[in-house]
Homo-oligomer: A and B are copies of this chain.
Amino acid sequence: MKLGRLNHIGVATPSIADSIVHYRDTMGATSIHKPFDLPEQGVKVCFVDTPTDSGMNGTQIELIEPLGEMSAINNFLEKNPLGGQHHVCFEVPDIEEARAEFEVMGKRILGPTRIGAHGTPIFFVHPKDMQGMLTEIMETPKEGAHWSN
């Protein structure tokens, strides 16, 4: 495969409300999207845009807060109560093709391909096969959808 855009870095937080204050007041973020629930993943999500020299879409910060007691990030927050860097997400043009390539390479894929926070198909690859980084692979939104969420 060919490396795609670093769509976002996933940042776990015990409170998206507190994190919004941090990114707005401490870091000076000016484009913070509306939080929403993603029950399929067991998380509440909020995207923070980072600026670019081009003015086009930069790598986003994806704040994720546990949604429910079975949330996949409860474990992470038990070990890191303040939150922290949880995963990285790269775009690919075709999710099925990418999945097949990771499978051929013997990388452990975590669960089925499903719809992610940007409304396109995604899957996760095991951090132990990815140099210690939980890695999300996400299909690039189709033309014209770049600016949603």
Which positions in A face B, CB cutoff 8 Å?
1-6, 9, 11-13, 18-19, 22-23, 26-30, 50-59, 61, 80-85, 88, 90, 105, 107, 127-128, 130-133, 146
Contact = CB atoms under 8 A, between A and B. Distances in A.
Copies of the polypeptide in the assembly: 2
| Nearest 6 A/B pairs, CB to CB | A84-B132, A54-B54, A82-B132, A85-B85, A2-B28, A54-B56
B51 A4 contact: yes
A45 to B, nearest CB: 16
Nearest to A55: B54
Contacts of A61: 6
A7 B102 CA distance: 28
A18 B80 CA distance: 28
Contacts of A50: 3-6, 59, 90
Contact of A3 (B28, B57, B127, B146): B28
A10 to B, nearest CB: 10
A84 B3 contact: no
